[in-house]
Every structure is written in structure tokens, then in C-alpha cells.
Amino acid sequence: MKQTKLIMAMPITLQVNHDQDLLLHQTFQRVFRYFEAIDEKFSPYKSRSQISRLNQNSAHYKPSKQLKEILRICDDYERKTNGYFQINYNGIVDPSGLVKSYAINQAYSIIKEHYDDFYLEVGGDIVVSKPVNSVQSWTIGVRNPFELDQIIKVIVLQNGAIATSGNYIKKNHIFNPINGQIVANPVSLTVIGQSIIEADVMATAAFAMGPEGINWLEKLNGLEAYMIESDQQATMTSCFEEYIK
Amino acid sequence: MKKIVVSVLIIAVILGYGLLARRYYQNNKLKFTVPKNNSAKSKQTKVVVHQKTKSVFQNGNFIGQSANAYWGNVQVEAIVQANHLSGLNILQYPNSHSTSVYINQQVLPILKKEAIQKQSSKVQIISGATFTSEAFIQSLASALRKAN
């Protein structure tokens, strides 16, 4: 069973390979409702969301347990990325960059309670699962940033997460928080990891570092990456090819 | 003085790498390849020997000789993956001077590059920069136009 819904201004697709029964329908409903709830709570565009209220009155606003957890994870990653992952811009706190992968991670756990053959894709970020000892893998295409209907790399993955950062769809939404400039190069950076939070945050941070970001990713354990630059040349980390078809 | 130390070390690392690369180039002029056997019936495996003009490295990690680099010994390890030099490890370096330590931290792996190429679009999922609902609807509309 496969469904796509537009939530948080993004297409969200869930596919679970299993006979259709009541539990499966309930699981799809739970997952989509979870994303709707997260959007209500943490969207910076909704005036009653926790993020908007935090920014309206940061001195007196008491963050919920969940918001505290999100802010704590952001803090950890700000340190791990030497400030290249930032949620504070000009005095405004916007953890949207983490809320998305945090929600994917939670939704993954909801599905995993009952199923182990599925994928969940939220606006280009992906988690996949295959049963233990399965001989099958999921095939994931990396979008060509210069020709959006083309695939330029095929990744095979049984269990794990893939995130891609780029400025080619939402124009110029990633900038270097250290110097405040829009990142013009690379144009696309795909990261494979075990956790979607890790893959997504590290892709964003490394993207903000510019073409040097891939060298930084190379030094990190458990992550592989594929970077595309404006001259249409790609650079990959040393074990990336293990995931290539 | 610092500048001299920096220059000497950079030259030593480049020389070390050059020597190592030359040695493997000389040792690996002959490349053996086993062609993929697509026919299940044939049990024979052919071994083809190519005389290569370009250097082809054997996969593995190769440790170079320790060389005196004036302020201390330098030794490098070359990492060869998919017959390409994919990285260098500095095993020994003069570490009594802060500049030497700084240079060692700057040594970066050589990562594989390629020109991007269109692949088969037969994939189950697509990863890309944050796809918005708007982009999704546009893409869906164009797909439906093609289907008509």
C-alpha cells in the first residue's frame, strides 16, 4: 500500500509492503496525523505554533518537553558541526531544519512497531527498511539538480536514511551561518547514514561549508556522501560506491 | 622560520607521495582483469592481460618508507580503492612543533570524482533537495500531460 499526502508544504509518501488490513490502514492514518500534529506544533508559519510563541515572548515562554528535546538536539548538532548547523538567525529561533527529520524519525518508529518492509519519503528525505535476511533492497535515485526529471545516481539500500541538501528547488534557502552568505556551490549534496536526523543535519551543515564540506563528511564515521558542483562534476566519499547499483 | 618549516614539510609530503606513486606505477604496469562471465553455461574463465600505459594501482593500503624531513621522520600510507588513490594517512610526522601538527591536520583525502550522467529512471524512490508541494504539483501536472 502506498499513499502520498501534502503536509508541511511537502509531499509525504509512505509505502508499506504488506497485505491491506485494518492495522495497515490505521498505521497510515497515524503516520499522516503525526506529521499534521508536528506541523501545527512547530511550523514557524503558524502564529499559534510553539515556535511562533517562543519567538514572540522568548523570555517567558515555557517550552514543552518535546520542544525542549528538539532544541537540545539542535544544540548538540550546532556543536558537532562547529556552528554550521544553526537555528538562530537574527534573534529568531527556527528549528524547522531539524523538525522535519525529527518527525521522520518518530514516524519511522511508529511504522516499525508493526512492519519492516517499507519506505517513507518526506520532501526528498528518505528512510527505508527491509526485513532482516532479506535479499531485496530499495533503489533510490539522486535527482539531477540541473534537470529535475532526471536521475544521475542509483543508490541501493536495505536499512537506513538518505537526505539531500540543495538550493535548486527552494531557491537560496541554505546559507553559510558563519559568514551569512548564500551557498552557490555545491548545488546538491546527498548523505547516506543510519539515522535520518544525522544524515539530514550533516548534509545541511556540510552544504553550508561549500565544496570543502565533503572532506569534512569523509572524516565522520557512518556517513557517505555524493556532492554535485556547479560544473556538473560529482565528488564522493571513499565508501559511497558500496551503495551504488 | 615558520615559513621554512612549513615549506620543508609540504615538499617532504609531496616527495613521499610522488615516490610512492612512482613505485606502484612501476610495479603495476600489467593489469589482470577477469571479464564478467554472462553466460551461465560456459564454465571457462578467461584471464586477459592488458598492457596499460596509464597507471593502475592495486587495491589495498601501502606503507611508504620512513623519510627524514629535517625536523623529524615522515611516513605515509597510501589507500588505494577501485584502483585509484583514495587517501593518504600520515603515519609518522614531526610533532614537536606546532606548525608540523597544524600541517598534518590539513592533509585531506583525495576523493573520487566523476562527471554526472543520466541513469535509468527505474527507481522506487527519489532523493533531492526539499521538494515543495508546489514543485510536486507542477511535476505531477507535467507527468499527466505526458501520459495524455
CATH of the domain at B137: 3.90.1010.20
Residue B82: its chain A contacts at CB < 8 A? 241
What pLDDT shows up at residue A190? 97
- pLDDT (tens digit, 0 to 9) for every residue of chain A, 245 residues total? 999 999 988 899 999 999 999 999 999 999 999 999 999 999 988 989 999 999 998 778 899 999 999 999 999 999 999 999 999 887 889 998 899 999 999 999 999 999 999 999 998 999 999 999 999 999 999 999 999 889 999 999 999 999 999 988 776 678 888 888 888 899 999 999 999 999 999 999 999 999 999 999 999 999 999 999 999 999 999 999 999 98
Residue A135: other Cβ atoms inside 10 A: 7
pLDDT at B102: 54
- Using a CB–CB cut-off of 8 Å, the residues of B that contact A are 79, 81-82, 86-87, 108-109, 111-136, 139, 142
Q: Is B42 or B111 the better-scoring residue by pLDDT?
A: B111
Closest Cα of chain B to A169: distance in Å? 6
Write the residue in A9, A139, A162 that is nearest to B133 by C-beta. Answer: A9
Looking at the predicted structure, is the pLDDT value of residue B140 above 90? no
Confidence of residue B142 (pLDDT cuts 50, 70, 90): confident
In whole angstroms, give the CA distance from residue A171 to residue B135: 12
Number of Cβ atoms within 10 Å of the Cβ of A26: 11
pLDDT at position B43 is 38
Domain identity same for B22 and B69? no
Contact state of B126 with A6 under an 8 Å Cβ cutoff: no
Structural domain range at position B87:
60-147
Whether residues B123 and B83 fall in one domain: yes
Quick check: A128 contacting B, CB < 8 Å?
Answer: yes
pTM attached to this predicted model? 0.71
Do B15 and B86 have their domain in common?
Answer: no
A228 touches chain B (CB under 8 A): yes
Residues A147-182 pLDDT 10s: 988 999 999 999 999 999 998 877 667 888 888 888
| Helix, strand or coil, per DSSP, at residue A65 | helix
In chain B the first and final C-alpha atoms are separated, in Å, by 74
Nearest-Cα distance to chain B for A60, in Å, is 33
In this structure, are B64 and B112 located in the same domain?
A: yes
How many angstroms separate the CA of residue B125 from the nearest CA in chain A? 5
Partner residue facing B127 (CB), from A15, A164, A218: A164
Decide if A218 and B121 are in contact by the 8 Å CB cutoff.
no
Q: Is residue B121 part of a domain?
A: yes
In a domain, B53, yes or no: no
User: Is residue B42 a part of any domain in this protein?
Assistant: no
Q: Which tens digit of pLDDT belongs to each residue from B5-57?
A: 667 677 767 766 766 666 655 554 444 444 444 443 333 434 444 444 455 77
State whether B22 and B85 are in the same domain.
no
- Give percent helix, percent strand, percent coil of chain A, each to the nearest 5: 35, 25, 40
- The answer to whether residue A218 neighbours chain B at the CB level (below 8 Å) is yes
B97 and B138 co-located in one domain: yes
Same domain as B122, residue B76: yes
Given this model, what pLDDT does residue B78 score? 78
Rounded mean pLDDT of chain B? Answer: 67
Residue A237, number of CB atoms within 10 A of its CB: 23
Question: A221: burial class by Cβ within 10 Å (0-12, 13-18, 19+)?
Answer: exposed
Q: What is the DSSP letter of A211?
A: G
For residue B50, tell me if it sits in a domain: no
ipTM over 0.90 threshold: no
Whether residues B67 and B107 share a domain: the answer is yes
Residue B9 falls inside a structural domain: yes
Give how many domains chain B has, as a whole number.
2
Residue B23 shares a structural domain with residue B68: no
Verify that B93 and B136 share a domain, yes or no.
Answer: yes
B54 lies in a domain?
A: no
Looking at residue A244, the DSSP 8-state letter turns out to be B
With a CB cutoff of 8 Å and minimum separation 6, the contacts of A241 are B82, B112
- B69 domain-assigned: yes
Q: Nearest chain A Cα to B107, which residue?
A: A215
- The reply to whether residue B123 touches residue A141, judged by beta carbons under 8 angstroms, is yes
Same domain for B134 and B77: yes
Q: Do residues B71 and B130 share a domain?
A: yes
Nearest to A169 among B79, B108, B129 (CB): B129
Is residue B124 in some structural domain? yes
In terms of C-beta distances under 8 Å and separation of at least 24 residues, what long-range contacts does A32-41 make, across chains too? A32/A3, A32/A5, A32/A7, A34/A103, A34/A106, A34/A107, A34/A110, A35/A5, A35/A7, A35/A8, A35/A103, A35/A107, A35/A122, A36/A7, A38/A8, A38/A99, A38/A102, A38/A103, A38/A106, A39/A7, A39/A8, A41/A66, A41/A67
Task: Determine contact: A220 vs chain B, CB below 8 A.
Answer: no
pLDDT of residue A83: 93
